[in-house]
Every structure is written in C-alpha cells, then in structure tokens.
Structure 1
Amino acid sequence: MAADMNSKKKKMNPILWFLFTIVVPFIAVMILALIILTVTGVDVAGWAKRTGSSIPVVSDVISADKEEGEQQKKATLQETIADKDSEINQLNQQVSSLESTIDEMEQEILKLEQNETTGDEMSSEHEGKETSQTDSIKTMASSFSDMDNEKAAQIFQSMEEDLVIAILEHLPDDARGEIFEAMEPDAAAEYTQQFVNQTE
C-alpha cells in the first residue's frame, strides 16, 4: 500500500514540477513585461486588438465587442441629445414667458407714465382754476366793499351761500359789518354762523 502511494506521488510530482517551473514563471514574466511596456508608453491593448483581429476566431470576438461598444456609445449619445433637446425646449418656453412678462410690465409702465402726465396736467389745471377762482373772489370782494351796503346785502341774500362766505372772507372787517347791518337779522345771523364755521 505504501508502494502505491509512492508511485502516485512520483506521478503527481512531474505535473506540479511543470506547473511551478514553467507555467507560473511564464505568467509572471508576461505580466511584468506588460507593466513595463505600458509604463514606457507602448499601446499594449491596441497591439493586442490589432494582432487578435488577424486571428480567425479571436477576430470575431473582438469585432462583436467593438460593435456592441459602438452601439452603446451611439445609444448614449442619442439619449444625451434627446435630453438636451427637451432642456432647450423648456428654456425656450421660459424665455417666451419672461418676454411676455416684460411686455406686460412695459405696457403697465407706459400706462402709469400716461396717468402721471395726465394727473400733473389735471393738478396744474386744477391749481390754475383755484387761482383764477380766488382772484375772481378777491375782485368781487373789493367790488362789494366799494358798493352801497344795502345793495350788497340784497345781492348776498340772492346768491349761493358758499360763494357769499368766500366773498365775506376777503372783505375787510368794517365793510363786512356794514353789510351784515344792512341785511335782515335772520339772514345776517345765518351768514355769520356759516362764516365763523368756515374760518374755524
């Protein structure tokens, strides 16, 4: 039995001897050579593909891998293009939306400027009217101060109360008192009350 075991060991030893003395060192030398060539700048992968493409069975595998890689690149590029197209469409929509907002704001600015111009014109016209009305009232007040007191009292009693009060404000105190004296007592009392309320 021991003899059978020794014969099996002797048969196994040549295989192990071949593995450890030839195959393993060969693989180590090849790996070391590839590393050295790659470090020195030699395109080992390109050389292997070119050499492999001339070998019949290996060339089919390399061309199939190449086609798959190109198809994957093409699909990736098409997806990227589609994404960019959708992004461009979204940006164009945002631009058109912002342009319409800008147009609306410009129209609103024009309206506000027109309203401001119209408001300035109206206020200047209003100020002009007030000034001319005040001038007219002052002129009438000076006319009433020169007029006979009884005639002035009769005219006041037939005029609108607001206008009478406005004229009374511009009359001198003594002329105002003489006109009130010439009026009927009830009308004089009413105009006096309104005049006092207006000046408060």
Structure 2
Amino acid sequence: MDKEEKKYNRLQWFLFVVLIPLLFTITIALIVLSFAGVNVMHASKSLADNIPFISKMTGSGDKNNKAAKEGSTDSKKELAQLEAGIKSKTAEVAKLENIIDSKDQEIQRSSAEKQQLENEIKDLNAAQADNKRAMKDIVTTYETMAPKKAAPILTKMPDDNAVKILSKIKAASLAAIMEQMQPADAARLTKKLTDFNQQQTP
C-alpha cells in the first residue's frame, strides 16, 4: 500500500511540478508569438525539418532530398552545356589559327617571290649596264680604228650587229667607214641603219 502511494505521489509531483508548468509555459509562448506576428505553424514545421528523426516522420526530409537531387541534375546539365560551348569555341579558335597560319604562309611565299623578282631585275639591270659598257668599248674601238680596217670587219659580221655598232659611232667616223665599204654593202647597211634609228625614235 505504501509503495502504491509513493508511485502515486511521484506521478502527482511530476504532473504538478514539471508537465503542467511546461505545457502552460509553451501555451503562453505560443500565444505571445502569435500576437507578435510569428507564424507558429511554419516555424514549428521548419524546426521539425531540422530535427532528423522528426523530418523523417513528416516526410519533409524526402522532399528536401528530392529537391537537392533535382538541383544537382540541373547543375550537371548546365555544366555539360558549358563544356560543349567551350569545346565549340576551342574548335573555332583552332580553325581561325589554321587560317591565320595559311595566310602567313601565303605572305611569306609572296615576299619570297617578290624578293626573287627584285633580284632578277637587279641582275638584268646589271647585265644591261655591262652590255652598255661593252657596247661603248666596242664603239670606241671602231672609232679609233682606221676606217679602211673597220669597214671590212663590219661588212662581214651579221647586219643587226653591224647596225647596232654603226648607230653609236660619231657621224664623222661613220662617214669615213662607209666610204671604205663596197657600194652595195654601204647601201644595205645605210638602209638598215635608217630603219633602226626610226624604230629607236619614240
């Protein structure tokens, strides 16, 4: 009988000292929070979601996990799209670099061809200068040579060569050389010399 009374006294003590004041305090707190404008239901749900075993009971944890998975999937898709865009841009850059390299090679070839042509022009100009000097020396030789010796040499060489030399010889020396030629040779070379001088005149 005493044991039952002790158990009853303990339960009564727990009810009056712990449980009833706790419930009273929670009720007062909820009333105060409601008057303060706090959404008590929403706050209690958020609190329950953060407590592991309660969130499993309410199922909110599953929703959060599902949302997290969906967010992860969206992030993977965006990452894949970005990687594809980077690959595309990299391919375009490589293509442009190839075009630039091709253009550079064309420019180098053009520069080499230009340099080659310039060298050929220099060689031709040098050859022409040498020919002019050689022709000048030949003309000087025939002018200083006795007309009687020069005339037979000129008549025996090809007419084109003879005409080129005769066209450079001074008038006095030319007349003296022509006098030493046979009339037929003198007439032929005179005609060709006249035609040559007409062609040289612009």
Q: Same fold (TM over 0.5)?
A: yes
Equivalent position SS for 2:62? helix
Say whether residues 1:108 and 2:106 are aligned partners.
Answer: yes
Which of 77, 90, 93 in structure 2 is aligned with 1:92?
A: 90
Structure 1 residue 33 corresponds to structure 2 residue 37: yes
CA displacement at 1:159 relative to structure 2: 3.5
8 A contact 1:141–1:167 mirrored in 2: yes
Query: What one-letter code is carried by the residue in structure 2 that aligns with 1:34?
Result: V
For 1:115-170, what per-residue CA distance to the aligned partner results, in whole angstroms no more than 9, with x for missing partners?
23222222221111111000000001111112233543443344445433432343
Amino acid at match of 1:198: Q
CA contact (8 A) 1:156 1:164 kept: yes
Retained in 1: the 8 A contact 2:135–2:165? yes
1:145, 1:171 within 8 Å by CA — same for their partners in 2?
A: yes
Q: Deviations over 1:73-112 (max 9, x none)?
A: 1121111011111111111111211221222122222222
User: Secondary structure, in 3 states, of the residue corresponding to 1:34?
Assistant: coil
**Match of residue 61 from structure 2:** 63
* Separation in structure 2 between the aligned mates of residue 46 and residue 179 of structure 1, nearest angstrom: 132
Match of 1:185 in 2: 187
Unaligned runs of 5+ in 2: 1-32
Alignment TM-score, normalising by the size of structure 1: 0.67
Q: Partners in 2 of 1:131 and 1:141 — Cα distance?
A: 15
Q: Contact conserved, 1:137 with 1:167, CA < 8 A, in 2?
A: yes
Letter in 2 for 1:177: A
Aligned residue pairs total: 164
- Aligned-residue sequence identity (percent) comes to 16
Amino acid at match of 1:103: D
Consecutive unaligned residues of structure 1, counting only runs of 5 or more, are 1-28, 36-43
What's the CA shift for 1:197?
Answer: 1.9
Counterpart for residue 197 of structure 2:
195
Aligned equivalents of 1:165, 1:47: Cα separation in 2: 124
Q: Deviations over 1:9-51 (max 9, x none)?
A: xxxxxxxxxxxxxxxxxxxx8597138xxxxxxxx97764232
RMSD over aligned Cα atoms: 3.1
- What's the TM-score, normalizing by structure 2? 0.66
In 1, Cα distance between equivalents of 2:56 and 2:115 = 90
Q: How many Å separate the matches in 2 of 1:192 and 1:144? A: 19
Q: 1:187 to 1:57 in 2, by over 3 A?
A: closer
